[in-house]
Amino acid sequence: MGPLKKIAVLTSGGDAPGMNAAIRAVVRGAIYNKLEVMGVIRGFEGLIENDLIPMDSKSVSNIIQQGGTILKSARSKEFMTKEGRQIAYDNLKQHHIDALIVIGGDGTFTGARVFSQEFNIPTVGIPGTIDNDLYGTDYTIGYDTALNTVIEAVDKIRDTASAHSRLFFIEVMGRDAGFLALRSAIASGAEAVLVPEISTDYKKLDAFLKNSYNKEKSSSIVLVAEGDKISGGAIKVAERVDKEHPDYNVRVTILGHIQRGGSPSAFDRVAASRMGVSAVEALLDDQKSVMIGMVNNEIVYVPFNQALKHKKPLNPRLLELIEILSI
């Protein structure tokens, strides 16, 4: 293959705040390095439908602060088939595109890895997901913004919880991982947290809630990760507690899709800007099938194989912190 001349960028899977900042950094990083760059609309689906647009510096002006993704996102069933990927590849070739940058989560990288190997097309991934569940990077784009969205919501709910001395169970996103729930529990001063990584110890929760109740704390807040299947989510836990302790004044709120939106935080904008430029540099550096990661504030390349194989563990120190701080 000859030297790199033209690349494409797409966003795929669940959207996350900061994806636009990453797109901007990819586009401007490419132009800075004398590469042409095209944007794919609606992820792998758009690649199959040949929905690509040329991008220049101006097409990413004034987007760094916007939530969502100007390239739109989608989940593509057709891309899971060999035939779909062949069409996608043919479209890339038609546009003389040499390499691909994909922004998304593990589903996105699974697709990208297969595609990259099948057609020998260099592909670099940028981790964009509010779940922060990718191995090999300390942070994913969107995670910090989602944390701030959650704590602002919990701050609001605590106003009303305090006014009425209520016990609130609040469900936050995180199908398979408790990162968002755990950190936002610490940051919002929640009294307890339930995460999928640890099976809920009802006796302990019960003892804790009884203790809070007896201390006449003005309110209590428990965060529940949606993916905590054993507990069944916030509604199930709340029903169980309410049944046993009808005097606890229990309420439930499911934060839902507000967690995916909003203007990205400073942290996410800086991370997205660094990762976007680094993704272009990785391609120039002849990388073929890696995710850009950030470890100890430095950029690293993480092979897709590795990022997808391992499960990132929760920091046990943070779990302990919840217990200390709710004393």
Q: Binding site: residue ranges?
A: 14, 24-28, 75-76, 105-108, 129-131, 158, 166, 173-175, 189-191, 215, 217-219, 226, 251, 257-260
**What is the chain's length?**
327
Angstrom distance (rounded) from CA 116 to CA 93:
14
**Nearest CA to 146 among 164, 132, 158?**
132
Residues 44-73 that bind a second copy (CB under 8 A): 57, 61-62, 64-69, 72-73
In the complex with a second copy, the residue whose CB is nearer, 27 or 121, is 27
Which phi-psi region, left, alpha or beta, contains residue 127 (left: φ > 0; alpha: ψ -120 to 50)? beta
294 is a contact residue toward a second copy (CB under 8 A): no
Q: What is the three-class DSSP state of 42? A: coil
207 is a contact residue toward a second copy (CB under 8 A): no
94, 199, 218, 305: residue in contact with a second copy (rule CB under 8 A): 218
Contacts of 157 (CB under 8 A, 6+ apart): 168, 170, 221, 253
133 is a contact residue toward a second copy (CB under 8 A): no
192 is a contact residue toward a second copy (CB under 8 A): no
147 is a contact residue toward a second copy (CB under 8 A): yes
The catalytic residue among 51, 90, 98, 131 is 131
Angstrom distance (rounded) from CA 191 to CA 161:
13
Q: Site size for a second copy, by CB under 8 A?
A: 79
211 is a contact residue toward a second copy (CB under 8 A): no
**Nearest CA to 125 among 148, 138, 108?**
108
CA 320 to chain centre: 24
Assess whether 131 carries a catalytic annotation: yes
What's the min distance (Å) between Cβ of 93 and a second copy? 27
140 is a contact residue toward a second copy (CB under 8 A): no
What are the residue numbers of the active site? 131
